[in-house]
Amino acid sequence: MADDWRQLAAFPAIRESAGEIRRLDLWRFLECCPMPLSQIGNTLAEEITRIDPTPTLLGYSMGGRLALHALLARPGMWKSAMIVSAHTGLDNEEDRVDRRRKDAEWSARALKGEWSEFLEQWGSQAVLQAGDSPSHLPSRLPLKSRRASVARSFTNWSLGGQEDLSARLGEITCPVTWVTGEEDEKFTAIGRRAVAELQQGHHEVVSDCGHRVPWDQPEKFAEICRNMIESDSLR
């Protein structure tokens, strides 16, 4: 949700250095019809470039995967990017088939199950439990009114339907800061491999947190954002 970033956008470290901050609500891209991964990169790039021809792009987790598609769709338009706790893609078909099956199950729960139960099941996953810091992620209860879009995201934007982008990361020409939580070992390893493929990649590993870096360690994350923006201004 766009509101997920409201508190972080208000941090002085970000607000004073970033200029205008625009927060995209990804769910609206799925409100009326499917939006496959093959289209989302161009769709995001076209919408953003109408407002800012040389933007900096930030995406977290699933949003980070969508951001990678946008970076690859229009490599030359971005000033810089930050990718947080994102997967570059599964590298074999067996794993992709298994992930599509699991995401179809999540989609059914999101669409037809008890909403609070769905949220509890989603939040109890091991990858989201790492880290001892309290998460400041806004409540997902209000998303119940948009459950159709949430359900559609599990099938339209499933990791199982995504190509392995690792071999294409070298096409991204702008500087990319890749951020992961120290206790999120799986995604930190993915980030390390991804940065090795990027033309201008930098990996920030944030201590005392897991997958939800921006909300588990908001002040540290805001400082990383400020450093990236100040580096942009020097180029």
Give phi and psi for 70, each to the nearest 5: -70, -40
Domain around 52: 2-234
Instruction: Give the confidence band of 133 by pLDDT, cuts at 50, 70, 90.
Output: low
Cα separation of 171 and 37, whole Å?
18
Which is more confidently placed, 123 or 86? 86
Can you tell me the mean pLDDT for 51-57?
A: 91
Cα separation of 110 and 38, whole Å?
23
Identify the helix (H) or strand (E) that includes residue 130: none
Q: Quick one: DSSP state of residue 92?
A: S
Instruction: Give the confidence band of 32 by pLDDT, cuts at 50, 70, 90.
Output: confident
How much is the pTM?
Answer: 0.94
Q: How many domains does the chain have?
A: 1
CATH number reported for the structural domain that contains residue 55 in this entry: 3.40.50.1820
Percent of the chain clearing pLDDT 70 (strictly above): 96
Can you tell me the mean pLDDT for 174-201?
A: 97
Can you tell me the mean pLDDT for 35-64?
A: 94
Identify the helix (H) or strand (E) that includes residue 56: strand 56-60
Given a cut of 60, whether residue 128 has pLDDT beyond it is: yes
Given a cut of 70, whether residue 130 has pLDDT beyond it is: no
Identify the helix (H) or strand (E) that includes residue 166: none
Given a cut of 60, whether residue 183 has pLDDT beyond it is: yes
